[in-house]
């Protein structure tokens, strides 16, 4: 019997992260089985207790590098995974950051003359600078003026929280809206299979009308997902 490949994530099935991962894998890695471990602690426990040596396990654990508790749990996870030949860790900050770093994000959610471009100028600038600083390998994003201007309570937030806040503020009131509990249909469905769309709901993708398959392929190719999947030898259908 051939071995199977599993993707273990820390979010519950009804959360935005799970819906995104399930959609992504269905479109570009259909043989990968997505499983929820409910939360990060249960995910660490599952890896520690894993005895199966035949199947492959890919672990998507949020790398909130400035959250002490998460950092310690990730350290335990890395030590445990190092002892297992069939466990592979994805080095991703979080699901929200993957969408933030997607270089087509603004083009997809706003039209050229969209009023949101002006109204959300602070969030757009903060997102650009945040992605730039993290891609450069630096972690001092809280010293960036645009990020400080955007979030007046920045010191109370870690990288996962600021990523989630930024993504929500950029996408709210659009078909791409992302919160912890929901992910907009425009991310996970073909254009335009959004049942709740109103006449004035106009997006940057209106001129392209991409299928959900093309959307997932684009996100994969234009984010750190490409680097991470390649690093663990995961075969992708493109």
pTM: 0.92
Please state the length of the chain. 238
**237 lies in some domain:** no
Cis ω before 205 (30° cut-off from 0): no
Judge if 125 and 46 occupy the same domain: no
Judge if 100 and 157 occupy the same domain: yes
Judge if 103 and 204 occupy the same domain: yes
Judge if 106 and 204 occupy the same domain: yes
Parent domain of 25: 5-93+218-231
Structure tokens at 55: 């199947």
**DSSP SS3 for 114:** coil
Q: How far apart are CA 95 and CA 222, in angstroms?
A: 14
Judge if 165 and 67 occupy the same domain: no
Q: What is the mean pLDDT of residues 158-166?
A: 96
At 45, is the pLDDT very low, low, confident or very high (cuts 50, 70, 90)?
very high
pLDDT tens for each residue of 101-137: 999 999 999 988 899 999 999 999 999 999 999 999 9
Say yes or no to pLDDT of 42 above 90: yes
pLDDT score at 44? 93
Say yes or no to pLDDT of 199 above 90: no
Average pLDDT, rounded, for the chain: 92
Percentage above 90 pLDDT, the chain: 80
pLDDT score at 135? 94
Beta carbons of 52 and 85 less than 8 angstroms apart: no
**36 lies in some domain:** yes
Query: How many structural domains does the chain have?
Result: 2
pLDDT score at 193? 64
Residue corresponding to tokens 């398959």:
213
For residue 108, what are the contacts with CB-CB under 8 A and spacing of at least 6?
176, 186, 203, 204, 205
């Amino acid at each position: 019997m051939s071995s199977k490949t599993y993707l273990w994530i820390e979010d519950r099935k009804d959360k935005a992260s799970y819906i995104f991962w399930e959609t992504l894998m269905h479109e570009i890695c259909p043989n990968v089985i997505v499983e929820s471990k409910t939360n990060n602690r249960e995910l660490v426990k599952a890896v520690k207790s894993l005895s199966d040596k035949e199947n492959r396990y890919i672990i998507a654990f949020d790398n909130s590098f400035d959250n002490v508790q998460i950092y310690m749990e990730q350290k335990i996870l890395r030590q445990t995974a190092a002892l297992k030949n069939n466990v592979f860790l994805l080095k991703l900050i979080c699901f929200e950051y993957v969408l933030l770093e997607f270089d087509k994000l603004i083009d997809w959610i706003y039209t050229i003359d969209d009023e949101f471009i002006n109204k959300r100028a602070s969030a757009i600038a903060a997102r650009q600078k945040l992605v730039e600083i993290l891609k450069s390998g630096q972690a001092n994003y809280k010293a960036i003026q645009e990020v400080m201007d955007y979030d007046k309570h920045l010191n109370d937030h870690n990288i996962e929280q600021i990523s989630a806040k930024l993504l929500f503020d950029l996408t709210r009131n659009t078909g791409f809206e992302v919160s912890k509990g929901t992910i907009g249909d425009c991310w996970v469905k073909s254009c335009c299979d959004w049942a709740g769309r109103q006449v004035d709901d106009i997006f940057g993708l209106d001129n392209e009308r991409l299928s959900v398959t093309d959307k997932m392929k684009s996100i994969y190719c234009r984010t750190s997902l490409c680097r991470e999947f390649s690093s663990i030898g995961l075969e992708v259908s493109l």
